[in-house]
Amino acid sequence: MSRRVLPGFHLTLGFSIFYLCLIVLIPLSALAFKTSLLSWEQFWTAVTAPRVMASYRLTFGASLIAALVNLVFGLLVAWVLVRYKFPGKRIVDALVDLPFALPTAVAGISLTALLAGNGWIGQYLEPLGIKLAFTPAGVVIALIFIGLPFVVRTVQPVLEDTEKELEEAATSLGATRLQTFTKVILPSITPALLTGFAMAFARAIGEYGSVIFIAGNMPMISEITPLIIIGKLEQYDFAGATAVALVMLVISFVLLLVINALQAWQRRRGASA
């Protein structure tokens, strides 16, 4: 009888469920329980206030834009790192992980110092009428910064495993570069692209540290939903804070569920092809 490194299925499953409940399910259930103390009218008033609705639009809109930008440029960065050799490649590869290691507050302060009216870049843009810091555009830039590694590190290993013989066969059959990319390469990396997009989007929705410094936090203009939640907590409105957080949780879960369904559909489509 072969001996397994880990204990049997029942024991490992029990530990897995216990750990999942301890880290994820219990905190989320506490969130739902605290929100249930509100009546429906109180809940609806808390989550649909004009200031809260404006924060929803900024948070989800900026997160979506940032994730879409990272989807394109993350693929480009991963492609360059996998397919080309150039001086300083290892440095560029290490810089991709910088947003992972850098404290988010430091990232926010650095971006503000660059893009503010007296910053290294902002001082040249503001005379042209381009203001990035303390605007929704600054929020998008911060979310792009913190989300790029998710796409690059998800797509990079898939590109490394892609069989170049298929590209060579397509070229020998008369396919153009665009046709080779869209018909051969893109279908094989689409699940990884969607995964990277989902991770970048999810991270952007809950981002706080790097955004508050560059956003300006002006109500109805550049105030993100996590800041709304923090503000309610500071005012001891715990039920209102959990209500807004619950809405964020539900919307995020539904979006991730849709993206995972698209990934599964793409895998089935690729397997059948």
Domain annotation covers residue 45: yes
| pLDDT given at position 177 | 75
Q: In which band, very low, low, confident or very high, does the pLDDT at 14 lie, cut at 50, 70 and 90? A: confident
Range of the domain at 224: 38-272
Domain annotation covers residue 231: yes
Q: In which band, very low, low, confident or very high, does the pLDDT at 180 lie, cut at 50, 70 and 90? A: confident
**Count of the separate structural domains present in the chain:** 1
Domain annotation covers residue 28: no
pTM attached to this predicted model: 0.85
pLDDT for 196-249, tens place per residue?
898 899 889 888 888 988 888 888 888 999 999 998 888 888 888 999 999 888
| pLDDT given at position 266 | 65
The CA-based diameter of the chain, rounded to the nearest angstrom, is: 76
Task: Residue 170: give its domain's CATH number.
Answer: 1.10.3720.10
Nearest to 141 by CA among 182, 99, 198, 101: 99
For residue 140, pLDDT over 90 is answered with yes
Domain annotation covers residue 150: yes
For residue 270, pLDDT over 70 is answered with no
Q: What is the C-alpha to C-alpha distance for residues 110 and 240, in angstroms, rounded to an integer?
A: 33
DSSP SS3 for 168: helix
Q: What is the C-alpha to C-alpha distance for residues 210 and 112, in angstroms, rounded to an integer?
A: 9
| pLDDT given at position 15 | 83
3-state secondary structure 184-218: HHHHHHHHHHHHHHHHHHHHHHCCCHHHHHHHCCC
Domain annotation covers residue 100: yes
Domain annotation covers residue 9: no
